[in-house]
């Protein structure tokens, strides 16, 4: 089920001279309110025609539809320029919530500059009294542009969701910030401990004598006595 791309011819998926630039779409496990799809784009170096679009589509019965498209054309210098067009639609609806049919089609476009550096963005639209949210995460992996689409049915109005986000942001700003430990090179170096002072000698204690002690004194006495008697 290709989508409309006015002014573009459709890229032949079996053109061997011009490899199809949109990879297969993969679907992640889904829930009642959310579905995720992802695919890769390979930006082409040449085109099969002046303005050509390559597109893949996948649909899940009663749940969601996804389109991954790459619109390509030459610029004034003959270089190939491309724009990614990503669309999704939430098919499930809840009559008890006042919803009478599938949700609106949501679309996001990416320029060449967006695809070169990666981008996160979203599209939001009312679905009955609630809203549908299409979130896109784009990154470069192994030379290819990897895009992940996340389609969510939010059980709030568009304004209710925006107000909730603002409230959550204010609450997060008021929360105390955890104190992270300083790295070793930023920690203050404690001063070295003071050297212990020598204990004073108590009164009446013998002070250290000269080298040799008492024995040296006795020997010296006898030497002086012998010198006096015998010369």
Q: How many CA atoms lie within 13 A of 42 on its CB side?
A: 12
pLDDT of 138 strictly over 80: yes
> What gap in Å lies between CA 102 and CA 124, rounded to an integer?
15
Contacts of 148 (CB under 8 A, 6+ apart): 36, 37, 38, 136, 137, 138
- Cα angle at 27 between 23 and 30, to 5 degrees? 165
**pTM score:** 0.71
> What gap in Å lies between CA 73 and CA 95, rounded to an integer?
44
| Closest residue by Cα to residue 93 from 64, 56, 60, 117 | 64
For the stretch 194-219, pLDDT in tens is 877 776 666 655 555 555 555 666 66
Beta bridge pairs of residue 86: 68, 108
For the stretch 18-36, pLDDT in tens is 999 999 999 986 666 789 9
pLDDT at 160: 92
């Amino acid at each position: 089920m290709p989508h409309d791309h006015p002014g573009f011819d459709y890229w032949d998926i079996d053109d061997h001279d011009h490899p199809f630039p949109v990879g297969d779409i993969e679907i992640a496990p889904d829930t009642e309110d959310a579905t995720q799809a992802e695919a890769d784009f390979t930006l082409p170096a040449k085109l099969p025609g002046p303005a050509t679009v390559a597109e893949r589509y996948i649909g899940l019965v009663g749940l969601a539809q996804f389109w991954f498209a790459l619109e390509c054309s030459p610029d004034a210098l003959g270089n190939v320029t491309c724009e990614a067009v990503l669309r999704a639609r939430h098919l499930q609806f809840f009559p008890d919530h006042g919803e009478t049919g599938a949700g609106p089609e949501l679309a996001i476009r990416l320029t060449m500059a967006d695809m070169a550096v990666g981008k996160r963005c979203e599209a939001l639209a009312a679905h009955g009294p609630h809203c549908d949210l299409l979130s896109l995460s784009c990154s470069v992996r192994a030379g290819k542009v990897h895009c992940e689409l996340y389609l969510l049915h939010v059980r709030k109005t568009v304004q209710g969701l925006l107000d909730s986000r603002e409230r959550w942001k204010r609450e997060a700003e008021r929360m105390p910030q955890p104190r992270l430990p300083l790295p070793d090179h930023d920690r203050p170096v404690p001063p070295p401990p003071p050297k212990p002072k020598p204990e004073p000698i108590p009164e009446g204690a013998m002070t250290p004598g000269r080298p040799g002690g008492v024995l040296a004194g006795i020997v010296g006495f006898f030497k002086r006595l012998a010198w006096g008697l015998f010369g």
